[in-house]
Structure 1
Amino acid sequence: MTRSDSRVAVYTGSFDPITLGHLNVIERSSKLVDKLIVGIGINSEKSHLFPPEERVELVTQATSQIGNVEVRAFSNLAVEFVRHCGARVMIRGVRPLTDLAGEFTMMMANRHLDPGIETVFLMADEEFAHVSSSLIKQITPLASDEMLARFVPRSIIPALRQRIRGKS
């Protein structure tokens, strides 16, 4: 298969931290394409729990068993990043239906910015529909490791605990 024949998609997000909902979308997306690039957006105007390098490391750990996934950070527009990766498909994970309005607006803006990029929405499986990075940040100080493992990959729990402790 030549490079131009390969199917490459990009799944963008902040992944701060990565959740089982994100991982669910990554696993399912990776089965649809030859190569899935997880793009970790860097927004210096936003306050993040983990710095970009650590988010890349945590997502890389969590996806290490998926052979066709690559993790990269980016700080430009998502459509520019997708194009830079040689992809024409952007994956967006959607949780509750309330996410759809904002995602639809972003998809239309992206289409105006680069009509050659298609956006594909994947709903997280039902068991992850309520899981968000904000929820994780709230429950981490109170939840046991077993409880947290219902929401985030086990591999990131130590880093998550250390970062939350450092913020308090």
Structure 2
Amino acid sequence: MRRAVCPGSFDPLHMGHVEVIARTAGLFDEVVVAVATNYSKTSMFSLEDRIEMASEVFRGLDGVSVAPMGAGLLADFCHEIGASAVVKGLRNGSDLDYEVPMAVTNRALRGVETVFLPAEPRFAHVSSTIVREVHSLGGDVRDMVPGVVARRLGAKRR
């Protein structure tokens, strides 16, 4: 059984995330979407809300489950659930520069490998930060996020 983890804060989950996770499901037997808390940022959505939204989005995708990651190391989380790989989407060279040191660290700590998938070009500009900023300034983000996220963002705006 080949199990991979797609980690992130998913605050909010966007179509770039969805696309990478769907592709990951085609490469591994099982994919765990590990929803984490980024303690260096103020979250738009609670951990529970992010887990609920991700669970709804991935409900129909075979082999994909959603779980809270907790406050520990990603390498330890992978070890605990028996995952041999982390899969990360890359939009550009800056993402690669950020992700490679973490990939090397995860391998050194627990032998967990990292697989990088290039972003689908139509989503290469999308990030959670962009979604939050566009939304906060009154812009339409419906093409950037799944329907459940768009509805929750709309409710926040009201």
Query: What's the TM-score bracket when you normalise by the shorter of the two chains?
Result: over 0.9
1:85 maps to what in 2?
Answer: 81
TM-score of the superposition, structure 2-length normalised?
0.92
Question: Mind listing any 5+ residue stretches in structure 1 that lack a counterpart?
Answer: 1-5
**Structure 2 residue identity aligned to 1:14:** S
User: Offset at 1:59?
Assistant: 0.7
Which protein has the larger Cα radius of gyration, Structure 1 or Structure 2? Answer: 1
Determine if the alignment matches structure 1 residue 100 to structure 2 residue 93.
no
Question: Mind listing any 5+ residue stretches in structure 2 that lack a counterpart?
Answer: none
Question: How many residues end up aligned between the 2 structures?
Answer: 156
Aligned ranges 1:129-144 → 2 under 5 Å = 129-141=124-136, 142-144=138-140
1:3 maps to what in 2?
Answer: none
Instruction: Indicate which of 12, 20, 37 corresponds to 2:15.
Output: 20
User: Offset at 1:26?
Assistant: 0.5
Aligned ranges 1:16-95 → 2 under 5 Å = 16-75=11-70, 76-95=72-91
User: Offset at 1:63?
Assistant: 1.2
1:56 match: secondary structure: helix
**Structure 1 residue identity aligned to 2:91:** R
12 and 151 in structure 1: CA distance in 2 versus 1, 3 angstrom threshold: same
CA distance in structure 1 between the partners assigned to 2:102 and 2:47 by the alignment: 22
> Identity rate of aligned residues, in percent?
35
